Chain A
């Protein structure tokens, strides 16, 4: 242990700790901006580029950046001297000199860490009126808007893209005043191998990276009398939407459904229904492949960021993932064929809106192959954040809403579906169904806890119907890469693997309410999803009565010709550059 004093208080911390961590132990807050630490994923971004966290260290002529200065025995630190405070303010003054001052209309208004700091540090005037950057916005894709004029070069997005996700499209380019973070050749994102996972958006402290806002398209659809507008909500949305209205724990599914009805959706349905459908198709495929002993392991394919990742970076392995569409796209296909037919509405007169914790889902819905109904299956995708904004705009007091139930028939779901929102959930759901199908029994012991949690890669051998099935779960594309490389080299012999692009799964998706580095929020979301699962009477996808019905009425069997037509897809190799 290392002993030091901070603001005259003694503290001892482990060797290698930073001054910032030691101060935190004493309950002393040092402001930070470029620094971010994600405890549950063991990720720390500490480049020390913003210099907002400088402190005085006795015996050192210069101020030290506390986020990246390791503690030393006998160190005497002062965090709040006039010199440190003035230096911090100057840093902020300089950052603001080349930062737009349009906070009122900024996407990140009230969620901006720079804005918060300016308030906290009591900046009340612009000191330096200097040259302003004038870059055009990159709005060429469906998911992410890049506004480099707002970039403060903290480079958190680079850590998210290159270190955590290993997608590797972002780099600091040029130098001095002209320096920006950009892909190679300063291309727009849609011309790169960007997966649109949105982890860069989640990491950005300011408004330089935000989601493409599609709420106006939803308002327009809701006000179009000629359209039947249906909405689907992804599993992870219910565990996070409440945060925007001060509800920090538990799922707020019932309130969300009530709110969506108040917005004017004709039918409020659940992506959980098609998550159950995904399990039917994917588990069928799993069992087929296991029986044939071919093309294993099977990899889940629900996550569009993950799909785009392997298409670019592992094009030699595009036949391994399950051919099952994601729940979002299954919903679109089912809504505009089966359901449209049932209610006598032409597919072109139906608008399917998705609420997703994800930004890649916006891109996924625009992929040209997803047009089972003859046109685009999912018309508009909004994020959890965008839905929260719509509630606010409509004057809906979310926290005061009564609970209500989803509409039938695409609203019924099981506990197996709701855990899709957490890493490991899809695999657990598939194992529940596979175990029943292979034994022909209704098994009681259905909690596969070995595949749960935030650990980067989780492996387990589960006994299903007397067969040992070796499974693995990875969340975060960097972890996915490790698993894929093991499969490619023949080192791994898994049967089934679940992969989600975002660390922690959809509950930490790029479209979820901002957590600003507080990963305890993610734990609460995970707990909420598993609580929702255990609270359900039916916890296995194949026991969902409406799923049974849709096979009886429409699809026949899992893996049938019709199921293949509407519920399965294909992948294509893309440039790995």
Chain B
């Protein structure tokens, strides 16, 4: 068994004890309102079909899917936590690790790669002091690689949140980061 937990609501294990739901009551109300608007019934099979959209919504609200949120969604849909975790771990879009305010994704698809995306990635890693997949200590940036955003004519491409930068060179990395602030 894990160490005793301070939340007071659990016995024997720390499942769902990250306190995220309690810390942000408005966000919780938002998620609850959304889920209450869905046709959730008693049939597990039918509810399972609503899972992905709930997770989408939840990740949109919190930026990631901490275990307490997974459990909240699971309980509302009458599913086991393990099923929810199974879905989250299957799709690379979902994450249960907190991400930074800004998500910087360097395209490492074939076209971008041959045009030098690896050098762009290396420069981001050097400037931000984190590796591919990590978040800076101040929580500002999460650096990641992705496969093809469909803008190969602009290769190499970098996506920052919803913005796309084309023809990126290592020299542009500092300016791209500055744009986020």
- A complexed with B: yes
Given A184-B70, A190-B1, A191-B1; A575-B13 close (CB under 8 Å): yes
> Which of B81-89, B141-149, B161-169 participates in binding chain A?
B81-89
Q: How far is the CA of A170 from the CA of B80 in the complex (A)?
A: 9
Question: Which partner residue on chain B sits nearest A174 by CB separation?
Answer: B89
Judging by beta carbons under 8 Å apart, are B13 and A192 in contact? yes
Q: How far is the CA of A173 from the CA of B85 in the complex (A)?
A: 7
Partner of B82, one of A169, A174, A175, A574: A169
Q: Which residues of B sit under 8 angstroms from A247, Cβ to Cβ?
A: none
Q: Which residues of A sit under 8 angstroms from B11, Cβ to Cβ?
A: 572-575
Q: How far is the CA of A190 from the CA of B13 in the complex (A)?
A: 9
Given A191-B15, A574-B12; A184-B1 close (CB under 8 Å): no
Query: B112 at interface (Cβ–Cβ under 8 A)?
Result: no
Considering residues A169, A170, A173, which has the most beta carbons from chain B within 10 angstroms of its beta carbon?
A173
Q: Which residues of A sit under 8 angstroms from B63, Cβ to Cβ?
A: none
Query: B109 at interface (Cβ–Cβ under 8 A)?
Result: no
Q: Mark A545-577, 1 if CB is under 8 A from B, else 0.
A: 000000000000000000000000000111101
Q: Which residues of A sit under 8 angstroms from B121, Cβ to Cβ?
A: none
Judging by beta carbons under 8 Å apart, are A173 and B15 in contact? no
Judging by beta carbons under 8 Å apart, are A172 and B86 in contact? yes
Q: How far is the CA of A76 from the CA of B74 in the complex (A)?
A: 45
Q: How far is the CA of A172 from the CA of B89 in the complex (A)?
A: 9
Q: How far is the CA of A169 from the CA of B79 in the complex (A)?
A: 11
Considering residues A187, A574, A577, which has the most beta carbons from chain B within 10 angstroms of its beta carbon?
A577
Q: How far is the CA of A1 from the CA of B13 in the complex (A)?
A: 53
Report B1-42 residues with CB < 8 Å from chain A CB. Answer: 1-2, 10-16
Q: Which residues of B sit under 8 angstroms from A574, Cβ to Cβ?
A: 11-13
Q: Which residues of A sit under 8 angstroms from B1, Cβ to Cβ?
A: 190-191
Judging by beta carbons under 8 Å apart, are B80 and A173 in contact? no
Q: Which residues of A sit under 8 angstroms from B2, Cβ to Cβ?
A: 191
Residue total for B at the interface (Cβ-Cβ under 8 A): 23
Q: How far is the CA of A258 from the CA of B12 in the complex (A)?
A: 42
Partner of A171, one of B14, B15, B86, B96: B86
Q: Which residues of A sit under 8 angstroms from B12, Cβ to Cβ?
A: 574-575
Q: Which residues of A sit under 8 angstroms from B89, Cβ to Cβ?
A: 173-175
Judging by beta carbons under 8 Å apart, are A575 and B82 in contact? no
Judging by beta carbons under 8 Å apart, are A575 and B90 in contact? no
Partner of A577, one of B15, B83, B90, B96: B15
Judging by beta carbons under 8 Å apart, are B85 and A185 in contact? yes
Given A174-B89, A174-B90, A577-B71; A168-B83 close (CB under 8 Å): yes
User: Shortest Cβ distance from A174 into chain B, in angstroms?
Assistant: 5
Q: How far is the CA of A575 from the CA of B4 in the complex (A)?
A: 13
Q: Which residues of A sit under 8 angstroms from B90, Cβ to Cβ?
A: 172-175
Given A173-B86, A190-B1; A184-B13 close (CB under 8 Å): no
Question: Which partner residue on chain A sits nearest B14 by CB separation?
Answer: A191
User: Shortest Cβ distance from B87 into chain A, in angstroms?
Assistant: 8
Given A169-B80, A173-B90, A185-B67; A191-B85 close (CB under 8 Å): no
Given A184-B67, A191-B1; A171-B83 close (CB under 8 Å): yes
Query: A183 at interface (Cβ–Cβ under 8 A)?
Result: yes
Query: A162 at interface (Cβ–Cβ under 8 A)?
Result: yes
Q: Which residues of B sit under 8 angstroms from A171, Cβ to Cβ?
A: 80, 82-83, 85-86
Q: Which residues of A sit under 8 angstroms from B82, Cβ to Cβ?
A: 162, 168-171, 182-184
Given A184-B15, A191-B15; A577-B86 close (CB under 8 Å): no
Q: Which residues of A contact B (CB under 8 A)?
A: 162, 168-175, 182-185, 187, 190-192, 572-575, 577
Q: Which residues of B contact A (CB under 8 A)?
A: 1-2, 10-16, 67, 70-71, 74, 80-86, 89-90, 96
A-B contact pairs, 13 of them (CB 8 A): A168-B80, A168-B81, A169-B82, A171-B80, A171-B85, A171-B86, A174-B90, A184-B15, A184-B82, A185-B15, A185-B96, A575-B12, A577-B15
Extra contacts besides A162-B80, A183-B82 (14): CB < 8 Å: A170-B82, A171-B85, A173-B86, A174-B90, A183-B85, A184-B84, A184-B86, A190-B1, A191-B1, A191-B14, A573-B11, A574-B11, A574-B12, A575-B15
